[in-house]
Chains A and B, each alone.
Chain A
Amino acid sequence: MSIIRSKELVHEYIRRDEEGNVESIQTALDHVNLSVEPGQFISILGHNGSGKSTFAKHINALLTPSEGTIWVDEMNTSDDEYTFAVRQTAGMVFQNPDNQIIASVVDEDVAFGPENIGVPTEEILVRVDKSLKMVGMQKYRNHSPNKLSGGQKQRVAIAGVMAMEPKCIILDEPTAMLDPDGRADVLRAVHTLNREKGITVILITHYMEEVVDSDYVFVMEKGKVFMEGTPREIFKDVELLKEHSLDVPQVTLLAHELRKAGLQIPECILTRKELLDALSKLNLKRKASGVSEGFKVSEDTKSFGENVLILDHVSYKYSPGTAYEVTALDDVNLSIKEGEFIGVIGHTGSGKSTLVQHLNGLIKATEGHIYYRGQDIYDKDFDIKDLRTQVGMVFQYPEHQLFETTVFKDVQFGPKNQGLDEKEQIKRAYEALGLVKLPEELYLASPFELSGGQKRRAAIAGVIAMKPAVLILDEPTAGLDPKGRDDILGLIKDMHEKRGDTVILVSHSMEDVANYVDRIIVMDSGRPAFDGTPKEVFAHYKELEKMGLAAPQVTYVMNDLIEAGFDVDASATTVAEATESILKALN
């Protein structure tokens, strides 16, 4: 007996004008048929707007079908009588950790569900205890959610669902807003629930690595299930997935490339171990001694211009002189050269965002000096407003800063503040919108009508329009799906190449950064721990792991191979480089 079963499920979002006439109909779900067996770990993949979140809301009876039926534990969700029973059977965890915690203390929030369904008092306490233990958050039961990290908040949200003792838990992109550490913690908690308590899990995500361990995968596109099967069956067709710009784990991609090059490797490799086993069977060149030789790929060292920004012994403390003093930056010395493309990496709280906010004077260092083109930015006669136009800053989730009535006017905001005349403002806005490749018919639309990816581009254009010499982007790909992420990163690279400006990209995704930047600065506890080319930095992959960061998957594969005694290049950081190196090692 299936726990969830949908038959010809259709959902239409209908927009009406003020008189109630239908203005437009958008089909979010288009005759979806699927079923989930009790105890399974299911993943649903798909782009933003593919209908996966809409489907999740149907399982929870937050939405009801326009056509067709969905049954949860044999209860028809359209039947009002069952609404609460359905929600109790299939609990739901949402994407944004902040927006689903209702109470101001952790345990009161976990109790919210059981209170609503009228569980007796003594029983609530037992359930809260149990649920917090399941997700490893019992230590925090008296804490305020505001003081928790994103990953911890998501685990509280999971505990909140578990306290209602559901049979099934639906997680709608629970890790989209988290850093790698938080993501791992949340996934571990979910897997434990599935394994030990037999809870059916439906994980909606666009991170492929999260899918690998599930029992069954549904891939959705345009409101339809367009692929389904075990992870192995899904990732078999790498070309098809790529065509639909869905990501594939790097290991799988590497195996696929090697197979294409004619190597005898089984189809569809999902883990490092599988790849290592497959490659071990091949006749790869062995090293004379097992010791790695370090870097072999001679890097073409690019030459850069003058120093644009210099940080000289910069320290920053939050609430200095109080008991709550936190050192966010600790004696940082850095120089940034004209034309460099830099990645700043670090986990949440490592000081990376604080660091970049110093560069345009939004935060003033408690100690030390910052020089922009040789001038001390803390000098009395230094024009800090001018600096902000020279060093452009795109914040995390920049689309949240859009405010004007049209996209075009919003992009004009920066140039207008610079005091440029109207003609120049318009010219700048046009150029910037062109650079971010936003379709021209959207220029006069309201920024709030755009899709997520489009909004982000419009917001980035708003900063570029000021023609900054240095462009800083704080997590520009956060919350985007793989396609949106590739688009934005490609765009940034294009702009960098076309205009030759200095770009600083803040991120916690090593894989994103490795493919694009010339130099990586790794921040840890307020200091730059490593600073060098991607190859130099990723050679320290073991230390990086200790900092809660991870090198790209291929770096691990290459090091696995070296440890097994093969003669490959340890410094390969991209799939293409790894493929080349492995093929070279082939006798």
Chain B
Amino acid sequence: MLREITLGQYYPAKSILHSLDPRVKLFSTLVFIITLFSVDNVVLFAIVLVTLFGIIKMSHVPFSFMVKGLRSIVVLLIIAGLFNLFLTPGITIFSFGFLTISDVGLKNAVLMTSRMILLIIGTSVMTLTTTPNQLTDGLEKSLGFLKKVNVPVHEISMMMSIALRFIPILIEETDKIMKAQMARGADFESGGLIKKAKNMVPLLVPLFVSAFRRANDLSYAMEARCYNGGEGRTKMRPLKYSSLDQRAYICIVAYIIIFYAVKVVL
């Protein structure tokens, strides 16, 4: 049950998207999010939607993989959608008892949920086509200027990539410990909030112990392979912009111009 989270799960394939520089992908994701939240009419929405589906098509990642990420936020989506639907004042278009749906409410609900869905899918396109290491490399390089103000950019990005590597392992471990405690009669489901929290102790303590043990092992393994911080480190695949990346940037700029031109015109 816990194994199906796609977070930080890279999908290996050969596509234009996979070979793009992570900085391009980070920037385009940012642009995508900003434009997504500037959407206020159907035409703009269509532009975002078509662009996204074009990109998904280019990624060679099965669509079902991206939808998987949505499963974990279904409840959130429904709640947010319902709140918007019923609690937004405006011209009533439908009413049933104390429940009323206004025109603005309907519009907001649709906009809100579709925005959330596209947001998740859009960002998962990035994480599915970029290895966590490339991603952190991209961040490290993009935010490199922060080093001048003594922000340990390299260390932070190393921590991020290690965290991403260990998330699936710890998820599996959680699953295992949960089963082991259930076999000893532990109950993780019933009871009120406080009882539930108390019942988590047999799960959380072993999980923390295990995480510390792994951290300890890993630090030895890293030291044994001469890790000594970012100084003097080379890269197997240093980030270098290729002509492909330049073209990608041109596409992104074109997209921004078209999007805001349409927004201004309509």
Q: A104-B161, A105-B10, A124-B236 are in contact. Are A87 and B210 (CB under 8 A)?
A: no
When the two chains form their complex, are residues B177 and A101 in contact, meaning their CB atoms are under 8 A apart?
no
Contact with B along A87-130 (1 / 0, CB 8 A): 11001101010111111110110011111111111001100100
List, in ascending order, chain A residues with CB within 8 A of B12's CB: 105, 142-144
List, in ascending order, chain B residues with CB within 8 A of A96's CB: 214, 217
A105–B12 CA distance with the chains assembled, in angstroms: 10
A357 interface contact, C-beta 8 A? yes
When the two chains form their complex, are residues B182 and A84 in contact, meaning their CB atoms are under 8 A apart?
no
B241 interface contact, C-beta 8 A? no
A51 interface contact, C-beta 8 A? no
A125–B164 CA distance with the chains assembled, in angstroms: 24
Contact with B along A51-66 (1 / 0, CB 8 A): 0000001001010000
When the two chains form their complex, are residues A111 and B236 in contact, meaning their CB atoms are under 8 A apart?
yes
Determine which residue in B8, B132, B180 has the highest number of CB atoms from chain A within 10 A of its CB, and name it.
B180
Contact with A along B139-173 (1 / 0, CB 8 A): 00000000000000000000001101100110001
Q: A103-B161, A119-B234, A400-B177 are in contact. Are A413 and B184 (CB under 8 A)?
A: yes
Q: Using a CB-CB cutoff of 8 Å, which residues 183-242 of chain B contact chain A? A: 183-187, 201-202, 205-206, 209-210, 213-214, 217-218, 220-228, 232-238
Stretch at the interface among A230-238, A251-259, A385-393: A385-393
B19 interface contact, C-beta 8 A? no
When the two chains form their complex, are residues B180 and A395 in contact, meaning their CB atoms are under 8 A apart?
yes
Contact with B along A301-333 (1 / 0, CB 8 A): 000000000000000000100110000000000
A88–B179 CA distance with the chains assembled, in angstroms: 42
Q: Using a CB-CB cutoff of 8 Å, which residues 47-90 of chain A contact chain B? A: 57, 60, 62, 84, 87-88
Q: A62-B220, A164-B225, A403-B206 are in contact. Are A388 and B182 (CB under 8 A)?
A: yes
B131 interface contact, C-beta 8 A? yes
List, in ascending order, chain A residues with CB within 8 A of B183's CB: 360, 362, 388, 392-393, 395, 463
List, in ascending order, chain A residues with CB within 8 A of B187's CB: 385, 417
A113–B206 CA distance with the chains assembled, in angstroms: 31
When the two chains form their complex, are residues B185 and A388 in contact, meaning their CB atoms are under 8 A apart?
yes
A84–B227 CA distance with the chains assembled, in angstroms: 9
B54 interface contact, C-beta 8 A? no
Interface size class of chain B, counting residues whose CB lies under 8 Å from the partner chain = 35 or more
When the two chains form their complex, are residues A417 and B185 in contact, meaning their CB atoms are under 8 A apart?
yes
B38 interface contact, C-beta 8 A? no
When the two chains form their complex, are residues B10 and A114 in contact, meaning their CB atoms are under 8 A apart?
no
Instruction: Determine how close the nearest CB of chain A comes to the CB of B122; give it in whole angstroms.
Output: 21
Contacts from A to B (Cβ < 8 Å): 57, 60, 62, 84, 87-88, 91-92, 94, 96, 98-105, 107-108, 111-121, 124-125, 128, 142-146, 160-161, 164, 319, 322-323, 357, 360, 362, 385, 388-389, 392-393, 395, 398, 400-403, 413-414, 417-418, 448, 462-463, 466
Q: A161-B225, A417-B185 are in contact. List 17 more A-B contacts (CB 8 A).
A: A87-B224, A91-B224, A92-B224, A104-B131, A108-B236, A111-B236, A115-B233, A115-B236, A118-B232, A120-B234, A125-B236, A143-B12, A362-B179, A362-B182, A389-B185, A392-B183, A400-B177
Counting from the closest, the 4 A-B pairs by CB-CB distance are A417-B185, A99-B217, A100-B221, A403-B205
The 19 sampled A-B contact pairs (Cβ below 8 Å) are A91-B224, A102-B165, A102-B222, A103-B133, A104-B133, A112-B222, A121-B238, A143-B12, A362-B179, A388-B184, A388-B185, A401-B181, A403-B201, A403-B202, A413-B202, A414-B185, A417-B187, A418-B185, A462-B184
Contacts from B to A (Cβ < 8 Å): 4, 8-10, 12, 62, 64, 131-133, 161-162, 164-165, 168-169, 173, 176-177, 179-187, 201-202, 205-206, 209-210, 213-214, 217-218, 220-228, 232-238
